Amino acid sequence: MADVTVVAADVRPLGGCIIRRFTAGEALTFGIPVYLSAANTVSKADGSAVATACCIGVVVAGALGNSSVASGEECDVVVFGPVAGYSTNMAFGSKFYVDDDAGIIADAAGTKSTIIGVGLSGAVLLVNPQYVGLA
């Protein structure tokens, strides 16, 4: 299993994205997968357990314009659409999954299989969460 490298400074939503604003349940960086951890709150997705593997999207911005998001701050999450800002191990047509390490995107499924999306190029991920094997 290979992890995808995120270049947080380059993460940005591309045209056609559906974006929703949430409150960060912990410190978050741009480009990482998140799950709903409480009402309108997101935390780093983690493929090792059912509750944390249900990725809803990828963090792309903070409401305060900072380079990361602190716990309790608002953040924007792409729930569907293309997101740029990835490098190592991103490939066109490949599926990408929630890793067993929190907040990591990998080219193979974690213990509980959740697809985050599909590579559109070496730097762009089409976010389209799908729950494959959560049982």
User: What is the rounded CA–CA span in Å between residue 15 and residue 18?
Assistant: 9
Q: For residue range 42-81, what is the model confidence (pLDDT) as tens digits?
A: 999 999 999 999 999 999 999 888 888 999 999 999 999 9
| Matching residue, tokens 């299989």 | 113
* 105 within 8 A of 96, measured Cβ to Cβ: yes
3-state secondary structure 17-39: CEEEEEEECCCEECCCEEEEEEC
Say which DSSP state 14 is in: P
Q: For residue range 79-109, what is the model confidence (pLDDT) as tens digits?
A: 999 999 998 889 899 999 999 999 999 999 9
Token pair belonging to 98: 């929630």
The pTM of the full predicted model, rounded to 2 decimals, is 0.94
